[in-house]
Structure 1
Amino acid sequence: MTGTADTALDIVFLHGGSHAQLATLADPALAPYRLRPVHIRTGTPADLGTADIVVVSDRLRPDLLIRWADSIHERLHRGATVLLFGENSAGRWFPGSREQSRPTVFWWWRTGEDHRLRPRSPGHPAWQYFSRRAVIWHYHGVLEPPEGAVSLVDLHTETGDRDGSILYLDETTTAGRLLVTTMDPVYHHGSGFMPGATQLLYSALYWATSGGRKPC
């Protein structure tokens, strides 16, 4: 999957130096992407100035992410692609993002519980890159996508009503492409557990580097 990555792209990986984030950066399978690590504390928003793709790793502190918000939006408005992973409380710092926390069902495949996750928009081109296993395994809240965005996976309540999105794509409100999810694939991939996490991480990078527009 990673063999098709366009290595000419400048792909920033915004991280905080956790064990899972460093393990992800050291993953040989991701080497073709040539991820450019930028530390959330020691880096500056100017480090995003040439980025074609910005990966906001999961489980970063919202109070540290606030100073990056304007630069991330600037890249989106210039046509870049942004992957905004979960447990980052995006609703607290990322303009236009509305998020509410939810208790997650951690081991539904063992307990037999209904995970209540439902795929959406079956005809969307993104499904060429994401398998069901990659997007149905976990969540840490629900999102309300902006008008024009497309939810790929919704969480439903126990009574069957739609609760909100756990993964959406926004390709309309800016010149760029934005993927937002409440799943935390970097943490689980780097920690070596949780079925589906690695697939989501790899698939998201494959989607981000395939068929996108070159930003200015």
Structure 2
Amino acid sequence: MAEALKSGKGIAYIHWGNSWQLRSFRDFRHYIDDLIYIHDLPKVDLSSYAAVVMPDAMDAEAPRPYAGQLNAYLQCGGFLVVCLQGHADWLDIPGLEWTPGNCRDWLWWTKGERLEVRLSEPHHPITRSLPLSHMSWHWGGSYNVPQGACSILEIDDGRGSLFLDFPSLPGGGRLLLATLDPHSHNGQRFMPATTRFLQSFYPWLSSELGIVRPRRNRFTYLQCSHVPSEWHPAWIEESLGLAGFEPLFAPSDQLGPELLARTDTLYIPSSHDEFFLKSRAGELVAFLERGGNLIICAEPCQPWLPFMASFRAVPSRPFTNIKVRVRDDRFGIFSDLGEDFDSWQGIFGQYARGWSDPPADAIWLTDVGSERDPKPADWIWQYPTSSGRGGYVFMHNGDNMTRYPDHGPKKEALVANIAVALRKLSMGELLF
């Protein structure tokens, strides 16, 4: 269970091994405490969880062998969330009836049309977090509204409900039941409304349960070189502070489990001791495995992390080779920095002069080198783990980024922009 919740109950997420379910878990892992394979349910005490989520993309028959356990969880006061495009007839809910059906045209959104759904009256409190636009794509059948249930979302003509809340079941349990499939389409990276649904739903669920999640705003700058501008670039504190971070400057000899336990994002400047960092590689990898983020400035000669490759310089002539160009800004890191963000006093080449090969699945963010043969000056990558909780690595193949850009309204804000992007990725506000 997540570190912040060791003293209390958290949220479990039951999956069937489906890639869409697993990808959605990875996206919103900040709000989920345990990942449970459905066929491992007999080994799990569900009463230890404040809520259990059964996402869509589940084989309709997979829950049936465990219906007794899931219903017992509800009957003993548990909070069960079920999304299923179909009839969850294994639920022990008297009077619950499902009717097959879907929207008139599931491509309505490409034709400027309106989906035939509306918020039920009176509006359920959840709609303060999930507006109608976050619940509008299509559905897989509809339910009646049995006694004791509250409808959240319904078909316009009153044919049925697509999202039900059973707030007080016998035994004190609670059930949220939807015929929507947000995890499927979010996991497929298809239909943005489904991503908005989950980005709203999981924070709401934690809040509804009284679970306070950390904001992942602890930023540590590792002090590696006693050159004053490298040791304590105090000017980055303002932009980090404005972005909600709590910056800490820590000498590199403090790098170890205690410092990393107090860090969400660790920044390593370009002038550093590769031998020392290699001696701490195990601790840095463990930090990534549990969801910590690394921002690395390096031109590695002796790569000091397992996924790191040696630095190679691009030809320095013509000079345009060392002008860095933004290739992919899906995370909004460079968009407000200005076109010449990589220049220093009008000179190019200090920001980056080469590249290192990124791992598979990394996203190549900026180009350096010739237009015909560009190389990745900056890339970002999620550290792969079996738990899906790996943190992110932002690799900058060049100088310390603390002084970039050196002009404009976002002067010296590049580091803060990167830290914000990593925080958003860690919390499901951006998707990798």
Name the TM-score, length of structure 2 as normaliser: 0.43
Give the one of 74, 78, 81 matched to 1:80.
Answer: 78
Q: Does 1:202 align with 2:199?
A: yes
1:101 equivalenced with 2:100 (yes/no): yes
More deviation in 97-106 or 53-62?
Answer: 97-106
Q: Distance in 2 between matches of 1:45 and 1:154?
A: 37
- Tell me the C-alpha RMSD between the 2 structures: 2.3
| 1:180 maps to 2:172 | no
SS of 1:103's equivalent? coil
Q: Alpha-carbon deviation of 1:144? A: 1.3
- 2:140 matched to 1:143? no
Partner of 2:62: helix, strand, or coil? helix
Equivalent residue letter for 1:180:
L
CA contact (8 A) 2:84 2:181 kept: yes
Contact 2:20–2:184 (8 Å) recurs in 1: yes
Output the CA distance in 2 between the equivalents of 1:43 and 1:123.
Answer: 35
- Give the structure 1 partner of residue 53 of structure 2: 55
CA distance in 1, matches of 2:26, 2:208: 26
Aligned length: 202
> Mean Cα displacement is larger for which, 122-131 or 133-142?
122-131
Q: Is the 8 A contact 1:60 1:87 kept in 2?
A: no
1:133 deviates by 1.4
- Contact conserved, 1:45 with 1:67, CA < 8 A, in 2? no
Distance 2:122 2:73 in 1: 29
Give the SS at the match of 1:11. Answer: strand
Alignment pair present for 1:115 and 2:115? yes
CA distance in structure 2 between the aligned counterparts of 1:31 and 1:25, rounded to whole angstroms = 5
The one-letter amino acid paired with 1:149 is A
- Post-superposition offset of 1:64: 1.9
| Distance change (3 Å), C-alpha of 1:194 and 1:49 | same
Alignment of 1:10-25 (within 5 A): 10-25=10-25
Mapping of residues 56-71 of structure 1, within 5 Å:
56-71=54-69
From the CA coordinates, give the structure whose radius of gyration is larger: 2
Which of 162, 169, 173 is matched with 2:165 structurally?
169
Query: What one-letter code is carried by the residue in structure 1 that aligns with 2:13?
Result: F
Contact 1:16 1:39 in 2 (8 A): yes
TM-score, structure 1 length as denominator?
0.82
SS at match of 2:110: helix
What residue number does 1:124 align with?
A: 124
Q: Alpha-carbon deviations, 1:73-131, whole Å to 9, x = none?
A: 222233322111122531x3222242122133322111244421111124432222211
Gaps of at least 5 residues in structure 1 are: 1-5
SS at match of 1:138: coil
2-side partners of 1:13 and 1:21: how far apart?
9
Is the 8 Å Cα contact of residues 45 and 71 (structure 1) preserved in structure 2? no
- Over the matched positions of the two proteins, sequence identity in percent amounts to 26
- Whether the aligned pair in 1 keeps the contact of 2:118 and 2:132 (CA below 8 Å) is no
Which ranges in structure 2 are unaligned for 5 or more consecutive residues? 212-432
After superposing on structure 2, the runs of 4+ consecutive aligned residues of structure 1 that deviate more than 3 Å are 6-9, 211-214
CA contact (8 A) 1:45 1:68 kept: no
